[in-house]
Amino acid sequence: MRHIISVLVENESGVLSRVAGLFSARGFNIESLTVAPVGDEETSRITLVSIGEDHIIEQILKQLNKLIPVLHVADLTDGPHVERELMLVKVTAEQSQRAEILRIADIFRSRVVDATPSTFTIEVTGDSGKLDACLSLLIPLGVTEMVRTGQVALSRGDKGLVKS
């Protein structure tokens, strides 16, 4: 099963390699990974997506907790949560295809963020399924380049990851 794991870490050098190294050393897989400071300059939040059986995920959570600079670990897929991913796609847009591309962008409530006489760059956000669907329509039209952020997620409701 797919799990979204949120890890709050001390914002210090080497933390990301400790987390990533743990996955490679113990044979766990990472589907996606995002990391950024959360605003207080001391902590960063890593969001990981991993696929594995429950006992493997349980080991992953415990092993992450064991790393010294890790403050908190949670499996967001345990409860209700919202997840989002952002994708930028550069699509070949010759005259005959421009209208079609804009229609697809509109269906997925995405925005054109850059345009040239021969390309559009489109920004799409949503859950991973929506991004996949949008991409599958754009590929036949000619995708020059694309990038995805990987998923971020928060639990629903009034509680945060750490009790404040």
Residues that bind other proteins (CB under 8 A): 9-10, 13-14, 17-18, 21-22, 25, 55, 58-59, 62-63, 65-66, 68-71
In whole angstroms, the minimum distance from the beta carbon of 15 to other proteins comes to: 10
For residue 21, give the H/E element and its range. helix 15-25
- Give me 8's structure tokens: 């709050």
Between 55 and 95, name the residue whose CB sits nearer to other proteins: 55
In whole angstroms, the minimum distance from the beta carbon of 87 to other proteins comes to: 32
In whole angstroms, the minimum distance from the beta carbon of 23 to other proteins comes to: 11
Write down the residue that tokens 């959570």 correspond to.
61
Between 56 and 141, name the residue whose CB sits nearer to other proteins: 56
Between 59 and 125, name the residue whose CB sits nearer to other proteins: 59
Between 17 and 118, name the residue whose CB sits nearer to other proteins: 17
The upper half-sphere exposure of residue 35, i.e. CA atoms within 13 Å in the direction of its Cβ, equals 17
Between 71 and 88, name the residue whose CB sits nearer to other proteins: 71
In whole angstroms, the minimum distance from the beta carbon of 53 to other proteins comes to: 13
Angle, CA 137 vertex, CA 139 and CA 100 arms, to 5°: 100
Q: 3-state SS string over 45-58?
A: EEEEEEECCHHHHH
Buried/exposed code over 22-39 (b: 16+ C-beta within 10 A; e: otherwise): bbeeeebebebbbbeeee
Answer yes or no: are the C-beta atoms of 67 and 26 closer than 8 Å: no
In whole angstroms, the minimum distance from the beta carbon of 42 to other proteins comes to: 9
